[in-house]
Structures are given as C-alpha cells and as structure tokens.
C-alpha cells in the first residue's frame, strides 16, 4: 500500500469547521461533501486537488467538531493520505474508522512544502519528498489499523471478520 501525489500544505490547528463548514452538514453524500472540502481555508482546493494528492499540515490537524463528514470529505476528494505534525484525537479516530490513511510525522510536516511531490510507503512509514530528495520516518501503522484501512474502515472490517467466521 502506497501513496503518491502532490502535497497541499496547511498550517497549525486546521479545524473541522474549515475542512467542511456546518452549512453543508445537511447531507451525508461523500461526493457533495467533497465539493466543499477545505472551502473556508482554501477556496481553490477542489480545483487544484488531483486524485492521489496528499494533505500536509502542522500541529493539531482536525481539531474541533467531531463531525465525521470532515475525513469523509477529504477521502471523497480523492486525497490518498493526510500527513501532519500531529492530529486532534477525534479526527484521528474518525479517519482510521473510515479507512483514510493518516500519518503523524513532525519532520514531514516541517519539511514538505506546498506543491512538493511526495510518496508514502505505509508498510515502512517512510515518507519521501521527491521534489526535495528528502525522506522522513513516520511510525508505520500497527496491523489492526492497516487491516482497517485495507478494508475501507471499521464497519467493513467487522463485516469481513463476520464473513470469515461464518466462512
């Protein structure tokens, strides 16, 4: 499992209100949420984002409201992975639960600039900045998180386990 894309870089304390403003929370449709992803912090995001691109940010990414619509919007935008110096805890949990890869790496949050080409190896936790020819080491996912991401989230994993049990 790997990611490869262009980095979109943001600062510290990016909250879930700017990732997906509450005015769009009268829907649960991922595509519609994706159409407004990052709108209040970067109105050009949906125009410049390409499938596989990577969000990179500073401290405490995803703070604030527990709305799962935030990681849903990011994932449905085609973003392959979110890298930040660190994450707010509810956002972290929600991302794993819906199968959005999310990596904590202070060095990558510092070193990667907007527009850099980045690859991520989920097995080793190595993040490569192709543009700057730098690498950063993130903690690789423990097996249960890797399984959840591979299955597409917590519920899909529970279903897969149930199916395996009934075999």
- Point out which residues bind other proteins (CB under 8 A): 13, 15, 17-18, 21-23, 25-28, 40-41, 59-60, 63-69, 71-72, 86, 88-90, 93-94, 97-98, 153-156, 158-159, 162
Q: What is the DSSP string of 78-110?
A: T--EEEES-B-HHHHHHHHHHT--EEE-HHHHH
What minimum distance in Å lies between the beta carbon of 60 and other proteins?
4
What minimum distance in Å lies between the beta carbon of 127 and other proteins?
22
Tokens for 50, please give them.
């390409």
d(CA 111, CA 37) in angstroms, rounded, equals 24
d(CA 141, CA 148) in angstroms, rounded, equals 10
Closest CA to 14 of 119, 76, 102, 80: 102
Q: Which is nearer to other proteins, 51 or 166 (CB)?
A: 166
What minimum distance in Å lies between the beta carbon of 86 and other proteins?
7
Q: Which is nearer to other proteins, 88 or 112 (CB)?
A: 88
Q: CB of 28 within 8 A of CB of 69?
A: yes
Q: Which is nearer to other proteins, 37 or 88 (CB)?
A: 88
Q: Which is nearer to other proteins, 104 or 117 (CB)?
A: 104
What minimum distance in Å lies between the beta carbon of 155 and other proteins?
4
Determine if residue 97 is left, alpha or beta; phi over 0 gives left, psi from -120 to 50 gives alpha, anything else beta. Answer: alpha
Q: Which is nearer to other proteins, 103 or 120 (CB)?
A: 103
What minimum distance in Å lies between the beta carbon of 37 and other proteins?
14
Q: Would you give the distance in Å from CA 34 to the centre of its chain?
A: 13
Tokens for 95, please give them.
């991302």
């Amino acid at each position: 499992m790997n990611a490869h894309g262009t980095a979109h870089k943001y600062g510290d304390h990016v909250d879930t209100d700017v990732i997906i403003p509450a005015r769009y929370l009268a829907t649960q449709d991922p595509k519609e949420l994706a159409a407004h992803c990052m709108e209040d912090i970067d109105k050009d995001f949906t125009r410049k984002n390409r499938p596989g691109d990577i969000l990179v940010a500073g401290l405490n990414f995803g703070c604030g409201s527990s709305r799962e619509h935030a990681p849903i919007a990011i994932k449905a935008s085609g973003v392959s992975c979110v890298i930040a110096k660190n994450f707010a805890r509810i956002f972290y949990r929600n991302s794993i639960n819906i199968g959005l890869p999310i990596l904590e790496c202070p060095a990558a949050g510092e070193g990667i600039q907007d527009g850099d080409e980045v690859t991520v190896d989920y097995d080793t936790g190595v993040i490569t900045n192709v543009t700057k020819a730098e690498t950063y080491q993130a903690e690789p996912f423990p097996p249960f998180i890797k399984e959840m991401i591979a299955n597409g989230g917590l519920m899909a994993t529970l279903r897969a386990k149930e199916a395996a049990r009934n075999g």
